[in-house]
Amino acid sequence: MPWQNEEIAAEAIQFAVGAIKLRSMAEWLYFADELDDNKNGSLGSNLKEPDTATDDSDF
């Protein structure tokens, strides 16, 4: 059966959905997990807000 071969199934999904949409779906599914503090804390805890209170720029 063709869906049992992962390569054929991946090509069929990529053809039906499109490479860009497939990539954005993968980012939506997996990128959020990398920034989640509750799971690993490594990337999410290292992010901080920029210090704008001492910024003297006019723009």
Taking only the tens place, the pLDDT of each residue in 1-55 is 655 788 888 788 778 777 777 677 777 677 655 555 455 444 445 555 556 655 5
Distances from the Cα of 12 to the Cαs of 2, 27, 28, 31, 59, in angstroms?
10, 20, 20, 24, 50
Residue 49's contacts (CB-CB under 8 Å, 6 or more residues apart) are none
Q: What is the pLDDT of residue 51?
A: 61
Q: What is the pLDDT of residue 2?
A: 58
Q: What is the pLDDT of residue 20?
A: 72
Residue 17's contacts (CB-CB under 8 Å, 6 or more residues apart) are 25
Q: What is the pLDDT of residue 59?
A: 54
Q: What is the pLDDT of residue 53?
A: 57
Read off the pTM: 0.31
Provide the 8-state DSSP code for 43: T
